[in-house]
Chain A
Amino acid sequence: MTTTHSAVRGDRPLIEVAGLRKVYAGRAVVDDVSFTVGEGEIFGILGPNGAGKTTAVECVEGLRVPDAGRVRVAGLDPVADHDRVTEILGAQLQESELQAKLTVREALELYAAFYPNPADWRPLAERLRLTDKLGTRFAKLSGGQKQRLFIALALIGNPRVVVLDELTTGLDPRARRDTWQLIEDVRDSGVTVLLVTHFMEEAQRLCDRIAVIDKGRIAALDTPAGLISRAAGSTVMSFTPSAPLDEEALRDLPALASVEHRDGRVTLGGTDETVNAVITLLARHQITAHQLRVSDATLDDAFLDLTGAAQS
């Protein structure tokens, strides 16, 4: 039953973006970006600063009018049907504030009054650990408390989609982890999440699928695991050889993506094939590999590889 249900839901993506283009001063900030987000998915948009991530999601939120392309949220046009989209889409914006002297309780009550079927703000405040800050004015909140309040405000209208832009920027590691847990809870309660981030760890931990955006274009779109295995150096091997290695022989290794020497230590990026070839090479020359480490590349490595390729 459940499978059938989710298959039916999967037929109609909640967010559809096709051929999106946005130009500022003659420069395409977002260029031919297309993706879909299924209901209940956590979809990440990952990219370096200035890549056009925020502009792309602002088109989804209806804050900007695309120059070309099609955007739909639950079948609605965020610009033409702005009123109806705002009822089902909750947003946390990068760099937005509230009135300095508005208290947390007042902000929650105010925003709850905006929506047709708002969530009860009390349990929401509790979940976001804001209960003992209800009487505190916005200007007196810490960065983390402000972020938690914005998450609460994004959820207060009982939305079907939340768009979170640079959610954990400025949070300490502990608060960041708490926030991740919260996003997972939100998704588990059936809300679709569109997440903009430049933190690899965050994207890898949370996202079902990720669109890597670089210079306004989608450089790759896959699951985190898919992105990592797609990158040229998906396996990383490092060791300290007991004798100098022949550079020529190293360069001829199959599927080699990168070589790095530092303080007598060699770090190679490649695939399993590369690793096997290195072991054979070392054995043939009777060289011992001290402190041998083989690990999967992280999303970090994949990201640098993907965006680096787009640069050259």
Chain B
Amino acid sequence: MSTTTATLVRGRGANSAVLRSEVRLFLREPGSLFGVMVFPPALLVILGSIPAFREADSGPAGLRLIDAYVPITVLLPMIVAGLQAMAPVIAGYRERGILRRMSTTPVQPPALLGAQMTIHGVAALASSLLSLAIGRLAFDVKLPQQAFGYLLALLLSVVVALSLGALVSARARTAKVASAIGSTVFFPSMFCAGVWLPVQSMPTALANIVELTPFGAAAQAMNQAAAGDWPSWSHLAVLAAWAVVLTAASARWFRWE
């Protein structure tokens, strides 16, 4: 076996050891687990239990309100994962010298960042699928008719949410500051995703603005895909632009120490 191969094999082993260890630590954070995995599906269950939400034409565009709320609860875990769960963890790792300690080993700190993004991304997507399944099974909400368009919007939203979280952790010096900034961005993000009022129900002027935000655009793209249309390119373009800008900004400003 050549040295390069040996290094690669070892690198993979070490990276998976980091991932396993971070998964274990994620499972020890009840707050993050609840926020990402329990809160969004639970919200859907609670709203779906209100009879008015299940009445025909109770929602926008001929939908029931519960139909409109499925894409919202699909987006919600990403916002929680990126801003509330991941950002303070990464800022804390830097604040407490964990990233520095790791940079004195053959495994470099990007392995830790990669593991964090993988875990939070996968957990958010799992929670999204859970909400889709609950909607379909418990409340008779149709699965997205334009599955590829829906998936594309979903994946772009994960990238946006994780890079937004990474950007917050890049700018925050401590875990506390990251939590504070995270919460400040968290509520507007939830609003734009339509948690309080679905974007389709917003007044046109407000909806036009909200559609320029990443989660507003994501919500609209997913609504269109859910109804069976390919999402407007304008919504996808807004999402993709945010994904590029936020990723570039977090890469530009992230400090390992």
CB within 8 Å of B: which residues of A?
61-63, 83, 86-87, 89-91, 93, 95-99, 101-102, 106, 109-111, 113-116, 153, 157
Q: Does B98 reach chain A (CB closer than 8 Å)?
A: yes
Chain B contacts of A106 at CB under 8 A? 21, 24
Is A113's CB under 8 angstroms from B93's CB? Answer: no
CB within 8 Å for A93 and B97 given contacts A87-B106, A101-B28, A116-B10: yes
Is A83's CB under 8 angstroms from B106's CB? Answer: yes
Is A96's CB under 8 angstroms from B100's CB? Answer: yes
In the complex, the 8 A-B pairs of residues with the closest C-beta atoms, listed nearest first: A96-B97, A113-B17, A91-B104, A97-B96, A96-B101, A114-B105, A114-B107, A101-B28
Residues B101-125 near A (CB distance < 8 A): 101, 103-107
Chain B contacts of A109 at CB under 8 A? 17
Interface footprint category on B: 20 to 34
Chain A contacts of B107 at CB under 8 A? 114
Residue of B nearest to A94 (CB): B97
Tell which of B10, B98, B103, B105 touches A99, judged by Cβ atoms closer than 8 Å.
Answer: B98
Encode contact with A along B32-52: 1 for CB under 8 Å, 0 otherwise. 000000000000000000000
CB within 8 Å of A: which residues of B?
6-7, 10, 13-14, 17-18, 21, 24-25, 28-29, 93, 96-98, 100-101, 103-107, 257
Chain A contacts of B29 at CB under 8 A? 101
Tell which of A93, A101, A113, A115 touches B25, judged by Cβ atoms closer than 8 Å.
Answer: A101
Is A93's CB under 8 angstroms from B21's CB? Answer: no
Residue of B nearest to A86 (CB): B106
Q: How many A-B residue pairs have CB under 8 A?
A: 64
Is B96's CB under 8 angstroms from A114's CB? Answer: no
Shortest distance between the CB of A261 and any CB in chain B (Å): 48
Residue of B nearest to A111 (CB): B105
Cα-based distance from A101 to B23 in the complex (angstroms): 12
Cα-based distance from A61 to B101 in the complex (angstroms): 11
Cα-based distance from A91 to B101 in the complex (angstroms): 8
Is B106's CB under 8 angstroms from A115's CB? Answer: yes
Cα-based distance from A114 to B13 in the complex (angstroms): 8
Tell which of A83, A89, A98 touches B101, judged by Cβ atoms closer than 8 Å.
Answer: A98
Residue of A nearest to B18 (CB): A110
Q: List 5 A-B contacts (CB under 8 A).
A: A61-B104, A93-B101, A102-B21, A114-B17, A115-B106
Is A113's CB under 8 angstroms from B13's CB? Answer: yes
Is B14's CB under 8 angstroms from A114's CB? Answer: yes
- Interface centre among A87, A93, A96, A114, by most chain B C-beta atoms within 10 angstroms, is A114
Cα-based distance from A97 to B99 in the complex (angstroms): 9
Tell which of B7, B13, B18, B98 touches A96, judged by Cβ atoms closer than 8 Å.
Answer: B98
Chain B contacts of A89 at CB under 8 A? 104
Is A93's CB under 8 angstroms from B93's CB? Answer: no
CB within 8 Å for A157 and B24 given contacts A63-B100, A114-B17: no
Residue of B nearest to A96 (CB): B97
- Interface centre among A61, A98, A99, A111, by most chain B C-beta atoms within 10 angstroms, is A99
Cα-based distance from A234 to B104 in the complex (angstroms): 40
Chain A contacts of B25 at CB under 8 A? 99, 101-102
Is A86's CB under 8 angstroms from B96's CB? Answer: no
Is A115's CB under 8 angstroms from B98's CB? Answer: no
Residue of B nearest to A83 (CB): B106
Residue of B nearest to A98 (CB): B98
Shortest distance between the CB of A144 and any CB in chain B (Å): 18
Is B21's CB under 8 angstroms from A110's CB? Answer: yes
Is B100's CB under 8 angstroms from A157's CB? Answer: no
Chain A contacts of B96 at CB under 8 A? 96-97
Cα-based distance from A91 to B103 in the complex (angstroms): 10
Chain A contacts of B103 at CB under 8 A? 63
Chain B contacts of A113 at CB under 8 A? 13-14, 17
Chain A contacts of B28 at CB under 8 A? 101
Shortest distance between the CB of A77 and any CB in chain B (Å): 15
CB within 8 Å for A86 and B97 given contacts A113-B13, A113-B17, A116-B6: no
Cα-based distance from A111 to B100 in the complex (angstroms): 14
Shortest distance between the CB of A22 and any CB in chain B (Å): 15
Chain A contacts of B100 at CB under 8 A? 63, 93, 96
Cα-based distance from A112 to B242 in the complex (angstroms): 39
Cα-based distance from A115 to B17 in the complex (angstroms): 12
Is A86's CB under 8 angstroms from B104's CB? Answer: yes
Shortest distance between the CB of B186 and any CB in chain A (Å): 23
Shortest distance between the CB of A139 and any CB in chain B (Å): 10
Shortest distance between the CB of A184 and any CB in chain B (Å): 23
Residue of A nearest to B10 (CB): A116
Chain A contacts of B106 at CB under 8 A? 83, 86-87, 114-116, 157
Chain B contacts of A98 at CB under 8 A? 98, 101
Tell which of A97, A101, A102, A157 touches B105, judged by Cβ atoms closer than 8 Å.
Answer: A157
Residue of B nearest to A112 (CB): B17
Cα-based distance from A106 to B24 in the complex (angstroms): 10
Cα-based distance from A12 to B93 in the complex (angstroms): 38
Cα-based distance from A259 to B105 in the complex (angstroms): 51
Chain A contacts of B93 at CB under 8 A? 99
Chain A contacts of B24 at CB under 8 A? 106
